Structure 1
Amino acid sequence: MTKVTDIKKINVEHVTIHSSKDFSAVKSKLEGTIPRIDDGIFTLLRYRESGRALQELEALPALSIFGFRDHGAVLQVAGLKRQSIQYDIGNPLTASKMTRHALSAGLYAPIRVLLREDSDGVTFEYDRPLTTFGQFANPQVDEVAQKLDQDLLAALENAAS
């Protein structure tokens, strides 16, 4: 059996958005403006109710929070007290518009966004969708990624303000 490993170098733009507000205010504003996704959509898809699922997906806002992980809590094992939450933010319909043209785009959907507080203050960080999805060199994927890029930047800037 032959193993073939391809490794490709890509350029990714990393975005950092600073906020003058405190961590809890930014977190609350983000979670108040970007809703959690209703897992019922995935149940519909699991049971092959694609027509109903599509109706639900079309009614979703541009962005939803799929999940989150409290990285600050994990740092307690190192004796550190920090506030840091990683969010998965995206839209299943948007993802399907990219993965139908490049299935590997599923590696980056939803987008990971880090909200953190440290000596620099409160910031959001993420890798810009247009550059991460750009590696697939597909015009249809790029078009969707550009819109996702704009929506994500606007939502995070709004939460940070």
Structure 2
Amino acid sequence: MTTARKLELVHLTTCFDVDFELYVSRLEKLLGRFDSTVMSDLKDPLDAVRRIEDMRGAHDLMLFGMQNHGALFAIDGVHRNAIRFHIGNPLIAHEMAREDIRAGLYAPLTVLVYQYEKGVRIDYDKPSSQFAQFENQKIDEVAQALDLKLRELLEDAARTP
């Protein structure tokens, strides 16, 4: 059986007057790094939580991975600066997934950073709008906090010296 329903999604675009490479470098420095080996050794849950906490960067977030989305334009013989970031925190994801396993569909978050004529643009779907479909107050609260964490992270990368 397959079901379908329409969801209301809030898509955000933020622009900063900053060099693309500089912004990406700052963003990477602010983010912690997720080490997936922690997931293969969960015999001691408290140790796993501690190890994940140690991976956190600014605003409690970490980098799960990056994709050079701009490289696709080489097909057209054009160079574009665009990177897709996968950003999140397994402990935050776990907090929501405990309430509804389907929350895992949106964790980690996806953020596209790309160059445009006056600097960088960042596009992403507001976390609280993605998770709202589960109609769970606890998930909504966590997702709203995630909205703020992500927005502050992206703003910090634009102003960090």
TM-score, scaled relative to structure 2: 0.91
Alignment of 1:96 onto 2:94: yes
Aligned equivalent of 1:134: 132
Aligned equivalent of 1:15: 12
> How far 1:118 sits from its partner (Å)?
2.8
C-alpha distance after superposition, 1:107-155 (max 9, x if no partner): 0000000000134641111100011001100001011111111100000
Alignment of 1:39 onto 2:32: no
Whole-Å separation in 1 of the counterparts to 2:47 and 2:88:
20
Alignment of 1:58 onto 2:56: no
Contact in 2 for aligned 1:133/1:145 (Cα 8 Å): yes
Between 1:30-39 and 1:139-148, the stretch displaced more is: 30-39
> How far 1:5 sits from its partner (Å)?
1.2
> How far 1:43 sits from its partner (Å)?
2.8
Instruction: Letter of the 1:32 partner, please give it.
Output: K
Whole-Å separation in 2 of the counterparts to 1:39 and 1:123:
29
Contact in 2 for aligned 1:85/1:116 (Cα 8 Å): yes
> How far 1:16 sits from its partner (Å)?
1.2
Contact in 1 for aligned 2:86/2:110 (Cα 8 Å): yes
Whole-Å separation in 2 of the counterparts to 1:125 and 1:50:
35
Contact in 2 for aligned 1:18/1:160 (Cα 8 Å): no
> How far 1:97 sits from its partner (Å)?
0.2
Contact in 2 for aligned 1:19/1:160 (Cα 8 Å): yes
Instruction: Map residues 111-122 of structure 1 onto 2, 5 A cutoff.
Output: 111-119=109-117, 121-122=119-120
Aligned CA RMSD, in angstroms, stands at 1.4
Q: What secondary structure sits across from 1:82 in the alignment?
A: coil
Between 1:107-116 and 1:12-21, the stretch displaced more is: 12-21
TM-score, scaled relative to structure 1: 0.91
Sequence identity of aligned pairs in percent?
Answer: 38
> How far 1:87 sits from its partner (Å)?
0.5
Aligned equivalent of 1:160: 158
